[in-house]
Amino acid sequence: MAKNRTSVFSWVWLLIGILYLGLPLLSTLGYSLSPEVRAGNPISFSAYFDVLSDPKFSANLWFSIGAGLLTTVISTMLLVPTTYWVQLRMPYLRSTLELMTLLPIVVPVIVQVFGLLALYRSTFLVNGSGGLYILMIGAYIIWAFPYTYRPISAAFQAINVKVLTEAAQSLGASWITILLRVILPNVWGGVLNSAFITFALALGEFTISSLLAQQTFSMYQFGVKDDIYKPIAFTVISFALTWFFIAVLQQVTKHPSQRNAARTTR
């Protein structure tokens, strides 16, 4: 396939993009390194040290990691078998399924949260942080559906579910075996992709967590009252962390032959 010729405009738009998107980040970075400017130290990582050594930082981080893992597991367990089942037995439900996963875009986040609080207002779910945690996880999963369903759906469309299932059944496999040892390995790329996206989204989310009063990773910056530099350093840290995460995702989900193009000379 012929390569697209690189036009000079491409570099122009790239530069404009970098300017608009990169400058604020660079300014934030600069600001975060300047807590000791008055003391004569133009670049200082003291804000970073303060943030990273703050026990609240690691507490919130672990909380979010836990919430993220739970969200990812439940979301995958809901989406994968359902997509499989619909594709295998109920193909007429496919557009309904897709519509359901797109609905969260229709319901803005705060409307969803207030709806949850209103619906469950006289139950244990709104009394105390345990119940609110359950609501938060549920809200995370729903909110992430539009992004997390796509890779799984794409992966399933690329394989022939019917043939695989019938072949496995003719060899005497049970449903669990079919799902875990026949289907899952074949859609693993999409599942992994979806898992990473879910986890990254859960880690960075704060509208839901702030409205439900949960101490997630991104809520850390709201709890810091004494120092302006700590939240700013935190901003840089969380951006870098998420970017690293997404870059790893890109590498991991690439086809092995694409991973290091320079090496494959066959």
Site for another protein in 16-35 (CB under 8 A): 16-17, 20-21, 23-25, 27-28, 30-31
CA R_g for the chain: 23
Taking residue 216's Cβ as centre, other Cβ atoms within 10 Å add up to 25
Spatial separation of the C-alpha atoms in residues 103 and 80, rounded to whole Å: 18
- SS3 string of 77-97? HHHHHHHHHHHHHCHHHHHHH
Tell me which residue of 175, 179, 173 sits closest to 191, measured CA to CA: 179
Q: How far is the CB of 186 from another protein (least distance, A)?
A: 19
* Alpha carbon separation from 127 to 43, 121, 123, 130, 208 (Å, rounded): 46, 8, 7, 8, 16
In angstroms, what is the minimal distance from the CB of 72 to another protein? 15
For another protein, what does the binding mask look like between residues 146 and 185, x meaning CB under 8 A?
A: ----------------------------------------
Interface region with another protein, contact rule CB under 8 A, candidates 42-50, 60-68, 180-188, 201-209: 201-209
Nearer of residues 4 and 170 to another protein, judged by Cβ: 4
CB 105 within 8 A of CB 146: yes
Nearer to another protein, 26 or 167 (CB): 26
Give the contact letters, 115-134, x = binds to another protein (CB under 8 A), - = no.
Answer: xx-xx---------------
Instruction: Give the Cα separation of 194 and 205 in Å (integer).
Output: 16
Q: Letter for the amino acid at 121?
A: R
Question: Among 56, 124, 222, 264, which residue interacts with another protein (rule: CB under 8 A)?
Answer: 222
| Minimal distance, residue 212 CB to another protein, in Å | 13
Sites for another protein among residues 95-114 (CB under 8 A): 97, 100, 102-112, 114
Binding mask 39-68 for another protein (x = CB under 8 A): ------------------------------
Q: Within a 10 A sphere around the Cβ of 115, how many other Cβ atoms?
A: 12
Residue 149 contacts residue 180 (beta carbons within 8 Å): no
Site for another protein (CB under 8 A): which residue of 47, 51, 141, 161? 141
Q: Write down the least CB distance from residue 214 to another protein, Å.
A: 15
